[in-house]
Structure formats: structure tokens, C-alpha cells
Chain A
Amino acid sequence: MAKRKSIIKIKPRKYKVGDIVKVDFIVIHPMETGMRKDKKTGKIKPMHYINEVKFYFNDELFTTVLPWETVSTNPYFSINMKVTGPGVIKVVYKDNMGEVNEKTKKVKPKG
């Protein structure tokens, strides 16, 4: 299982309980469409894309994103979330080659 770089950002940085915040998730991934040729070898690069991203808050699934290969390289997904208290956001992402990775981020509302 290759380890991929990913990042979760919460915007704005300061938030309170009850606020609706943006959760941005970015992952470094080639998102190959299966239609491009490798310039060196002339062979078609196999399709390789993320096909499932699940957002959990305190182990409760709240959003499922099913991207297709149409999504750009190094995909970026942004959704809204209502902060109900402190906890952990966990993002689990899978690609069509069976890679499964996850990333977590703590939620610390102030006030």
C-alpha cells in the first residue's frame, strides 16, 4: 500500500460550536484517465483514479463522494460540515486499483 500525501483543511481556522465550516480535502494522486499515452514508451497508461471518498465525524459517516476519472490530477474536494462539538474528522479514500488510505484531523471549536 503506497502511502499517499493528503491534507485536510478546515476553513475558517477559528470556529465555534454550531458554525458551518468548510472541510477541504486534497490528495496527491495521478488520476489517470486510461486514455493518455506515455510519451516515452508509446503505451497507454492504465486507468488509475480515486473512486470513493468517505468523510466521517467521530466515526459517523456524513458525506460520500464518488469521483470519476474526470476529476483533475491531485484532486480537491470541498464540502460543508456543521460543528457540533470537539471530535475527529476521518477521511477514507479508495482508488480503482484497490489502494485504501485514510487521514484524520482534530476538530477543536473555541467558545
Chain B
Amino acid sequence: MRRRSFLKGLSAVPALALLGNVQLLAEAKKAKPKSKNAISFKKALEVVTGGKGAKESDKVQLIVPEIAENGAVVPVKVNVDVPIEKVKSIHILTTKNSNARAADVFLTPRNGKAYFATRIKLSGTQNVVAVAVLKDGSAIMASKPVKVTIGGCG
């Protein structure tokens, strides 16, 4: 009898351990925090362009490194080849960060030229997208992939 109960006990241990593991895993999944500002790339693009979508254009020059060794600091430069009077804003988006938006820049004619540069964090290999919204409501964009060897977001 004793042997039997002992064996039973033995078999129960891994089962329990497994259960525990599953619970732990579930908790880990839950615990992985989501940004309060989390928004998908598709939605962000909709918000930025007012649901109209953006056309790819050569007029937006996006300068990013092809390979970023450190995802925590990725320099991004945007030049828009459109007279400043016609440009309303520049938006920098990412395709896979939990918050797809990086920066929104609202320009005025005093800027002289539509240009913006900053440094952003990337959680992994993904595309960086620059969208320029023009005064007439249309939007043009440029997209470039960046390979990230070490993630920088969370």
C-alpha cells in the first residue's frame, strides 16, 4: 500500500509542477506590460492621414541606417521636397513597436524647409515610415527597413 501511494505521489509531483509552470507562463504573458499608448501601425496611419491613406513618393526622403546595432538609439532624418507652404506636418511611424507612433511634427512657413531629425527606439527588425501630410489633405510617405540586432523597446 505504501509503495502504491508513494508512486502515486511521485506521479502527482510532475503533474503539479507542470500545472504550476503553465500558470507561471500564463502569468508571465499577462505580466508582459502593454504600453498605455499602444496603437497598431495600421491604425496609427489612419489617425495620421485621416483615414485616407498615404501614397509612396520620392519626395519624402527618409534617412535611416540599414543595420542598427543598438535598437535603443536609431537616428532618423526626414526631408520633404515640397515647398514649406504646402506641408502641414511630418509623422514618424514604426511598423512593429507596441506604440507605432514615434513623433508628430507640425510645421509652419517659418521653418523654411520641411526637415525633421530625431532618434528613436526600435523593438526589433522592422520598417520605419515617414508620412508627410500636405495642406490639401493628401499624404505622401516613404518606408525603409531597419535591421536591429539588439532590441531597445521593453
Contact = CB atoms under 8 A, between A and B. Distances in A.
Contacts of B74: 72
User: Main SS of chain A's interface residues?
Assistant: strand
User: Number of contact residues on B: which range applies?
Assistant: 35 or more
Contact of B72 (A61, A72, A82): A72
Interface string B57-80: 000000000000000111000000
A57 B111 CA distance: 11
B106 A33 contact: no
Contacts of B107: 63, 79
Contacts of A62: 108, 110-111
B5 interface: no
Given A34-B33, A70-B97, A81 B110 contact: yes
A9 B116 CA distance: 15
B81 interface: no
A69 B94 CA distance: 12
Nearest to B115: A80
Contacts of A63: 105-108, 110-111
Contacts of A73: 72-73
Nearest to A20: B112
A79 B103 contact: no
B103 A82 contact: no
A69 B99 contact: yes
A88 interface: no
In order of increasing CB-CB distance, the 6 nearest A-B pairs are: A35-B154, A82-B112, A20-B112, A78-B117, A62-B110, A70-B102
Interface of A: 20, 22, 33-36, 44, 47, 57, 60-73, 75-82, 84
19 contacts: A44-B33, A60-B110, A62-B108, A63-B107, A64-B105, A64-B106, A66-B105, A67-B103, A70-B101, A70-B102, A70-B121, A71-B121, A72-B72, A79-B115, A79-B116, A80-B111, A80-B112, A81-B111, A81-B112
Interface of B: 33-37, 72-74, 94, 97-99, 101-108, 110-121, 152-154
